[in-house]
Amino acid sequence: MPIALRLASPTTALTETTIGDIVRRAATEAPDTVALVDGVAEPAERVRWTYAELLARAEALARGLLADFAPGDRLAVALPTTPESLLCTYAAALAGLVVVPVNPLLRPGELAHVLGQSGAAGIVCGDAHRDYDLAGVVAEVRGALPALRTQLPVADLDARAAAGDPRRALPVVSPHDVAQIVYTSGTTGAPKGACLSHHGMTHAARAGARRFAIQAGDVYVNPLPTFHVGGQGVAFSLADSHATNVMVRTFDPGLVLDVIESEHATLMVGVPTMLGALLDEQAARPRDLSSLRAVSSGGAVVRADLVRRVRTEMGASVTVVFGQTECCGFATQTHLDDPPEVIEATLGTGLDGIDVRVVDPTTGAVMETGVDGELEVRGPNVMLGYHEQPDATAAAFHDGWLRTGDLMTMDDRGYLRITGRLKDMIVTGGVNVYAAEVEAAIAGDPAVAEVAVFGVADEHWGERVVAAVRFVDPPADESAALARVGAGLVDRLAPHKRPKQWLAVDAMPVTPYGKVQKFRLRERLAGPRPRGEGAGGT
């Protein structure tokens, strides 16, 4: 039987580029193409920068930044998804600085961790974001961060650029230099800073753009935050393809659909929760989406029903992307011309120049096709390591391959199917239970809007299976509703897989990127007895 290993073709071209290279090339080859659009509600108020304008602004700001910073210094950028956020990305890249993307809604302790652990020398931020006094929070934590020398308001970017010496030569930046330190989403604990190279980020973006068939002149509506590796990766894909990036500051389904319609967008991206909200909004108040050619999704399991609804209700093809911060957001992807059943059930194959394999997580032996194991990735997209965390870096790699922590199977064509997270594997009574399988069974109940399954310590079983459920409509009797959901699993799951403890929640605790924080749910169990606890157990 074949083994679950798919190596990139030896003929795959691995063009080594920097982030600065791609915007310079776009400005040379497509100077008048609109690079960035600020996708605000009123079309007349949408700022538009061509690639020539973007490069000129970025080079001027790079020179201005070099008055205070030296190549290799870390510059945190805590901005929403606006042209200014990417201006900082490109300017820092041209200046040889290392960008640390920061969610502008981080609370003081979270912000202090990222700024302190990264050793950021400066931060670009606005006064406030969504009524949150970010500038005040930065001022609050600066006293404990001796490395943080400069707090640069976003309103001062033009002045900083104008103050730069136009005769100053920008440094030579190597494709193998660290471009960004992007912090993981923190679903299992304190975020770690993944060091991503220029070559890694631009190669991953280029490979994803090819698989998604992005073309010069495409108009791409992008609601992904630029403080996330996905938002950065999409931006580089579009610049490398000479396409237009329509940036939406905060996801709102009505606004995104309005922007698609008014900008005649050809492409868009959205995580599964976004797609669900867009489909519901489109059903309630239809827009003209006839220009839309394809939709990209990922960041979580993309349910088959969502894929089908996008095709039928939005009239667009779908590609599903799998990646993580540690591999620049791109590792595998489906093809737009894959059969519907493949797009609905798989994560595609390894992208150009990227090797993937499925191994036994204990022994490291490559598994046979069709057998569960841990996905490992190797290629230029893989991080250089975690910033100043050698032990965590060593644990993340096996024989030169990145351990993703995701459990998958690979078929004989190299297509991957996710079966769960290694950390979501629950050992109960000596038997392995994969949370993803239990979640899929519970999610089939039409009354369930969202579910998270995890294990907690149990004196008898070692671990017991717990399910947290958010209902579509809050039931009058939560215990009875949970018991009914549990009863529906009797014919679908073996007894050891069925949750022994249930709780109803009004909302799932999530990271800023929409991923459920199961450790927060575990913490709830250590407090007062959760609502619905014990209902539905078998």
Residues 238, 244, 249, 255, CA torsion sign: negative
pLDDT at 385: 98
Hey, what are 184's tokens?
A: 């993981």
| d(C-alpha 410, C-alpha 431), whole Å | 23
SS3 percent helix, strand, coil of the chain, rounded to 5, is 35, 25, 40
The domains of the chain, with CATH numbers, are 19-31+49-173 (3.40.50.980), 429-525 (3.30.300.30)
| d(C-alpha 416, C-alpha 408), whole Å | 6
pLDDT at 334: 97
Give the residues across from 434 on adjacent strands: 425
pLDDT at 246: 98
| d(C-alpha 377, C-alpha 302), whole Å | 21
Helix axes 304-313 and 272-284, enclosed angle (nearest 10): 40
pLDDT at 529: 38
pLDDT at 534: 39
What is the amino acid identity at position 355? D
pLDDT at 490: 86
Hey, what are 187's tokens?
A: 């679903």
Q: What is the pLDDT along the chain (538 residues), one digit of tens a residue?
A: 799 999 987 766 678 999 999 999 999 999 999 999 999 999 999 999 999 999 999 999 999 999 999 999 999 999 999 999 999 999 999 999 999 999 898 888 889 999 999 999 999 999 988 888 999 999 999 999 999 999 999 999 999 999 999 999 999 999 999 999 999 865 555 789 999 999 999 999 999 999 999 999 999 999 999 999 999 999 999 999 999 999 999 899 999 999 999 999 999 999 887 898 999 999 999 999 999 999 999 876 788 889 999 999 999 999 999 999 999 999 999 999 999 999 989 999 999 999 999 999 989 999 999 999 999 999 999 999 999 999 999 999 999 999 999 889 999 999 999 887 777 778 787 666 778 778 988 999 999 999 999 999 887 777 899 999 999 999 999 999 999 999 999 888 878 889 999 999 999 998 765 678 888 898 888 754 333 433 333 3
> How far is the first Cα of the chain from the last one, in angstroms, to the nearest whole number?
38
How many whole angstroms from its chain centre is CA 437? 22
- pTM for the full predicted model: 0.83
| d(C-alpha 318, C-alpha 336), whole Å | 6
Hey, what are 59's tokens?
A: 């080079």
pLDDT at 300: 66
Extended strands (E) in 256-399: 267-269, 294-298, 317-322, 332-333, 349-350, 355-359, 373-378, 385-386, 397-398
What are the CA-CA distances from residue 409 to residues 5, 349, 369, 401, 497 (Å)? 11, 12, 7, 17, 20
pLDDT at 73: 98
DSSP H stretches of helix in 267-303: 272-284
